[in-house]
């Protein structure tokens, strides 16, 4: 399938055709396109989007989630964005750019980009839930900002009840780059890097990061958070002390050193939060968050 210049919006037409005739397709986009909100919701539909010749931008015609991947009782749904494709968010958009749900899959390849989503509520460039998987093999998620004051809810990528495999690429210059909820899985490999990463905990479980032995990337700041019923930072700290923060075959002293600790974040109520610098604590060589011994 090809989306070329002309009076017809071929990207929208391609989505319509693919949904009516589900199979595996590659869509080549030959110009910048503005589209209405789209949903991939047909059984075994796999769509890859690639830009022809130079970078092509797919942007919103109206505020809302640009592309939803997945639907109830539908399986085998996948979206891939490849080289020379940018999904551009809205300038006053209180929705995700890509929403992956219902055990579906989203893949970003080298040369892809998601950027420019600006809003004032708890949204993300990519939001993953419902047992779905986001695999980032390359590309960038950048320049997505959110004026909502809760530091645990503003993000480039948000994962709840899903999996984020970051095998490459960069996530940067977002209000918070990556936010991993307690019931989500997050792994890093290859040259994957991000600036601000937030992990969440509660009284019974905590998010963590699984490191591959081939990971060569970096993190600029790791924050540890929790949602409590009151402004009680001690509760959040106790949820984290003694817990496994880093796991996998890539846990070693050199990789642990790539995770500078930033803040404890306690959020409660409606967009209310408190922060406290992580002081007398560290991640030990086994990936466990502990009180400093010296």
Residue 233 belongs to a domain: yes
- Is the torsion defined by CA of 230, 233, 234, 237 positive or negative? positive
Interval 224-283: pLDDT, tens: 999 988 778 999 999 999 999 999 999 999 999 999 999 999 987 666 788 999 999 999
Residue with tokens 């892809």: 112
pLDDT for 148: 64
pLDDT for 42: 97
Residue 79 belongs to a domain: yes
Interval 2-31: pLDDT, tens: 554 556 899 999 999 999 999 999 999 999
Residue 150 belongs to a domain: no
Q: pTM here? A: 0.95
Same domain for 219 and 98: no
Exposure of 43 by Cβ count < 10 A (0-12 exposed, 13-18 middle, 19+ buried)?
exposed
- Number of domain units in the chain: 2
Closest CA to 236 of 196, 293, 281, 176: 281
Same domain for 230 and 102: no
pLDDT for 150: 58
Residue 170 belongs to a domain: no
Closest CA to 46 of 66, 22, 68, 10: 22
Residue percentage of the chain with pLDDT more than 70: 94
pLDDT for 272: 77
Residue 232's domain spans which residues?
A: 181-294
State the SS3 of 120-158.
CCCCEEEEECCCCEEEECCCEEECCEECCCCCCCCEEEE
Residue 250 belongs to a domain: yes
3-state percent breakdown (helix, strand, coil) of the chain, nearest 5:
10, 45, 50
Quote the mean pLDDT of the chain.
93
Q: Which residues pair with 156 in a beta bridge?
A: none
Interval 111-124: pLDDT, tens: 999 999 988 777 89
Interval 43-71: pLDDT, tens: 999 999 999 999 999 999 888 999 999 99
Interval 166-205: pLDDT, tens: 999 999 999 889 999 999 999 999 999 999 999 999 999 9
Residue 155 belongs to a domain: no
What are the tokens at 56?
Answer: 């092509």
pLDDT for 6: 56
pLDDT for 230: 78
- CB–CB of 29/52 below 8 Å? yes
The two beta strands, 281-283 and 289-291, are antiparallel
- CB–CB of 133/166 below 8 Å? no
pLDDT for 229: 82
């Amino acid at each position: 399938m090809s989306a070329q210049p002309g009076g017809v919006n071929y990207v929208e037409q391609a989505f319509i055709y693919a949904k009516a005739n589900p199979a595996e397709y590659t869509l080549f986009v030959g110009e910048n396109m503005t589209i209405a909100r789209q949903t991939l919701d047909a059984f075994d539909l796999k769509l890859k989007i690639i830009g022809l010749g130079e970078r092509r931008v797919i942007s919103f015609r109206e505020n809302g989630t640009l592309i939803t991947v997945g639907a109830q009782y539908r399986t085998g749904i996948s979206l891939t964005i490849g080289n020379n494709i940018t999904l551009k968010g809205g300038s006053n958009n209180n929705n995700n750019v890509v929403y992956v749900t219902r055990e579906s899959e989203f893949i970003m390849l080298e040369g892809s980009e998601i950027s420019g989503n600006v809003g004032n509520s708890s949204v993300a460039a990519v939001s993953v839930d419902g047992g779905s998987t986001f695999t980032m093999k390359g590309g960038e998620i950048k320049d997505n900002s959110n004026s909502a004051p809760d530091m645990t809810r503003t993000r480039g990528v948000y994962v709840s009840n899903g999996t984020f495999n970051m095998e490459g690429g960069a996530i940067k210059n977002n209000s918070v780059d990556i936010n991993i909820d307690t019931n989500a899985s997050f792994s890093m490999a290859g040259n994957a890097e991000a600036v601000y990463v937030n992990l969440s905990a509660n009284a019974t479980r905590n998010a963590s990061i699984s490191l591959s032995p081939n990971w060569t990337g970096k993190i600029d700041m790791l924050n540890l958070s929790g949602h409590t019923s009151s402004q009680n930072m001690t509760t959040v700290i106790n949820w984290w002390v003694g817990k496994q923060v880093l796991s996998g075959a890539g846990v070693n002293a050199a990789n642990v050193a790539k995770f500078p600790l930033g803040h404890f974040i306690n959020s409660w109520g409606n967009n209310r939060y408190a922060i406290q610098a992580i002081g007398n604590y560290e991640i030990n060589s086994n990936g466990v968050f502990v009180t400093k011994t010296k």
